[in-house]
Amino acid sequence: MDHSAVLAALDRDLRRDMPALDDHATVVQTPYVTRHVDPRDRGWSGVVWCQVDEHTAESVVTEEVALFKTLPGDCEWKHYHHDAFLALPEYLVAAGLRPGEVEWVMVAETAAIAPVPPPPGITLTPVTDEAGIAKVVAVHEAAFHAPFTWLGDRLLDALETAPDRLDVLVAEADGTPVSAARSEYYPGRPWASLWGGGTVPEWRSRGIYRALVSHRAALALDRGVRWLHVDAMPPSRPILTRMGFQKITSTTPYTLPNA
């Protein structure tokens, strides 16, 4: 993999020229940022690309954070560590944002992901209705010990309005949901982003996550998608590395406190 070329493509396709994630959202480009705005209570808004320097950083960050405070949904400034202006985090914190955990940006060629069958007793089922979404929410809440009603609302809306933009899977053991994951697609872009993959504690370390990644890769390949992208947390990084994903940069989310 040519890391420089892939990183440049990601910067272009999923950051500077990012498409709206759904029909409710808009993408705004200024000389300094690319901003995704979803005005709904359960929407996601954020700055995904930024080009500032010591002369422009303070005013740009102040303006974007002021906008964050007017939006009802989740807001996030995704700071990518390879960006040229290394001092940007100082301005984000000074404006009242707080950093989250560092995520590795990992990429793989879709066609290079080997098939991995689910472990014995596990079935992978596509989610296409409200009952399936309820299973996804239940799994995420059991896996991450946090409320995920917001995710259920977003997925239900997406399945109703733009089902071609995502694949959602639930892994079940004898009808009991034990893991879930989703892929999001970008119209006109050769990318799919993999999200979720949370597994309830008693079913971890059995290969379910690997099977979910492999199955989603096959679905993406059927759509003609060339690249898979993951913002990976520590537990999934070794698994993704063994499957052929490579780290091309890292990113830190900055959000408003208690947002």
Q: Concatenated DSSP letters for 19-74?
A: PPSSTT-EEEE-SSEEEEE--STT-EEEEEEE---TTTHHHHHHHHHHHHTT-SSE
What pLDDT band is residue 13 in, cutting at 50, 70 and 90?
very high
Q: So what's the pLDDT on residue 134? A: 96
Q: Which two tokens stand for residue 102?
A: 């560092």
Q: So what's the pLDDT on residue 161? A: 84
Residues 36-78 have pLDDT tens digits of: 999 888 789 999 999 999 999 999 999 999 999 999 888 999 9
User: What would the mean pLDDT of 4-33 be, rounded to a whole number?
Assistant: 95
pTM metric for this prediction = 0.94
Residue 22 in this model has a pLDDT that exceeds 90: no
- List C-alpha distances in Å: 17 to 26, 39, 109, 186, 234: 12, 20, 21, 11, 28
User: What would the mean pLDDT of 148-176 be, rounded to a whole number?
Assistant: 91
The percentage of the chain sitting over the pLDDT mark of 90, rounded to a whole number, equals 84
Q: So what's the pLDDT on residue 162? A: 85
The mean pLDDT of the chain is 95
Contact 253, 93 (CB under 8 A): no
Q: So what's the pLDDT on residue 35? A: 97
What pLDDT band is residue 259 in, cutting at 50, 70 and 90?
very low
Q: So what's the pLDDT on residue 177? A: 96
Contact 132, 152 (CB under 8 A): no
